[in-house]
Structure 1
C-alpha cells in the first residue's frame, strides 16, 4: 500500500514528509485538524469539513490564506493517488515553526504548516452499526473550547483508553451530570419519539455527521431538540447512538457507569436510530451527484 502526503502545496512520499521538531504542533499542540471520509473515490461532506477547518484556524488566530477550492483540488488529487477506494483523509494545520516560546504574536513571518494523508478503511462498520456498542460514562476533563477541533486531544485520549480498558467502545462524557459528547463522537438520545442532542456551544464539537443527522431528522419528520440532558435521562432513554465521520452512526445498547452495566432501551438498535442510519446510507450512495461546489 502506497501512502502519499500533502505537505503544504507538495505531494510527497511518506518517508519524505519530514516535519521540523520546532513545529508548534509538536511542541504545544498548537494547531487544528479535520478527518474526511471518502467512499468509492468520492469525499463525503468535504465542503463542510473544509469550512470548519478554516473556522477552527480563525478561532485560534492561525492565518488561513489558502483558497478552499485549491485545497479541495489538492485533497482530491491526494485521494486519487491511493491504491484503495474507501478510507479517510487526515488534515492538520499548525501555527508554524519557531523557537519554543509560548508567545507567538511577535513572529510576523510565522508560516502555518499543512499536512494531509489518507488512511484505508476497507468497509463501513455495518455489523457494529446493527449490533450496537457499549459505552462508558465518565467525567469530561477537557478544556472549555471543545467547539475548536484542535490538536489538544489528551483528555479525549485518556477517556477513550479508560473506556477501552473496561471493554467499552466509546467514552460518553459529562460535566456535573450533564452529558456533553463522546471522546471522539457526538451523542444523541431518543425519548418518546423525539431526538435530543447537546446544543452546539463551546462544550462540544459541532460534528459534521451531527449536522447531517439533524438535517435527516427534519426531513424525516422526527422531532429534534438541541437540549442538554442528564445522565439519568441518558440511562432512561428509549434509544441512543453516537455519531462521527469514521464510525458513522453507532447504536448504544449498554452503558457502564460506576462499575455497573445498564441496558439502554431494549438493549438493541432502535427503530428511529435505524431510520436515520438508512437515510445516512442513502446520502452516501448519492455522493457522486452531491460533490462540493466550493
Structure 2
C-alpha cells in the first residue's frame, strides 16, 4: 500500500512517526475524508476550504498550498490505481519534545501530513434499507465545527448506540438534535426538511452543503433549524449524510419505525439528485 507522507509517496512500511508527535499524544491535528469517483476527488475545493478554516481555528499553519496538496493526493490515487474509493488524510501539528501541553510556535515544529486511499463502493444496501438509531446524549466538546483528530466523544456515542443494538446514534444536546455520530442529521416534519444550522455544535458537512443547494434548487421547503426531541413523534422522514455514505435513511429511532421503517419520498429524491450531481 502506498502512503502520502509529507510530500512523498512511499510504501506503508517506510512511514515512521515519532512517539512525541502531538497527534499521538494529544489528538492535536485535523483530518479530511473525501470520496473518489472515476479516479477523481469529489468536492476537493470545499474540503480544502474546511481544512483551512479549521487550521486557522486551532492556530495550525498548513505546510502546503491547496495546489500542492491536490497534486500529491492525485499522485497517491494514481499510485494505488483506485477508480472509486475513499481518500483520508490528516495533518498533525508535529513533534515537540519533551511532551508539553502548550501549543508550540510554527518555528518550533513542522506539521506532519499522512494520507491513504482505499477502494470503496457506494453503500447501496445502507442507502436502500437504511439504518437504525437511538438517542444518545451529546457529551462532546463545544468545538464540533473543527474536524479534529480527537474523536473519542463520537466514538463513545457510536459505541453506546451499538451496545443498545442500533447502527448509529442521534445526538441530543439540551433537548435538541445536533447530528449523528459521524454524519449530519436531517428530519422531515410536515413536508419541511430540517437540519441543524452550522455553528460550534455540529460539523459543517460538505455533503450537507451540496444537499442544501440541491433541495433549494428543486423547490423543497428547507429550514436550517435545530429540531427538538419533543417533535420526534412528528418526524415523517429521517436521514443522515456524509461524504462516504452520501445519503442514508434512518428507518427507526429507539425502536420506533420512521415512515413505516422504509425510505421516505424526500430522502429517496435527494439520494437520486445527489448521485445525478456527482455524475455530471
| TM-score scaled by length of structure 2 | 0.96
Alignment partner of 1:184 out of 169, 182, 185: 182
Contact 1:189 1:241 in 2 (8 A): yes
Cα distance in structure 2, aligned partners of 1:106 and 1:38: 35
Q: Does 1:217 align with 2:215?
A: yes
Cα distance in structure 2, aligned partners of 1:69 and 1:49: 13
3-state SS in 2 of match to 1:81: helix
Q: How far did residue 24 of structure 1 move?
A: 0.3
Alignment partner of 2:37 out of 31, 36, 39: 39
The equivalent residue for 1:125 is 123
Cα distance in structure 2, aligned partners of 1:119 and 1:58: 29
Mapping 1:143-182, distance limit 5 Å: 143-182=141-180
Residues 80-99 of structure 1: per-residue CA shift (max 9 Å, x gap): 11143211111101111012
Change (3 A) 1:158 1:81: same
Mapping 1:140-289, distance limit 5 Å: 140-256=138-254, 261-286=255-280
Mapping 1:50-89, distance limit 5 Å: 50-89=48-87
Q: How far did residue 65 of structure 1 move?
A: 4.2
Cα distance in structure 2, aligned partners of 1:50 and 1:244: 16
Q: How far did residue 107 of structure 1 move?
A: 6.5
3-state SS in 2 of match to 1:21: coil
3-state SS in 1 of match to 2:278: helix
Cα distance in structure 2, aligned partners of 1:46 and 1:29: 24
Residues 190-232 of structure 1: per-residue CA shift (max 9 Å, x gap): 1122110011010000000111110110111101110011112
3-state SS in 2 of match to 1:266: helix
| TM-score scaled by length of structure 1 | 0.92
Q: How far did residue 266 of structure 1 move?
A: 2.7
The runs of at least 4 consecutive aligned structure 1 residues that moved more than 3 Å come to none
Contact 1:137 1:255 in 2 (8 A): yes
Residues 218-247 of structure 1: per-residue CA shift (max 9 Å, x gap): 111101110011112234211110001111
Q: How far did residue 136 of structure 1 move?
A: 1.5
Contact 1:187 1:197 in 2 (8 A): yes
Contact 1:236 1:265 in 2 (8 A): no
Q: How far did residue 129 of structure 1 move?
A: 0.7
Change (3 A) 1:84 1:52: same
RMSD of equivalent CA atoms: 1.2
The equivalent residue for 1:290 is none
Contact 1:238 1:266 in 2 (8 A): no
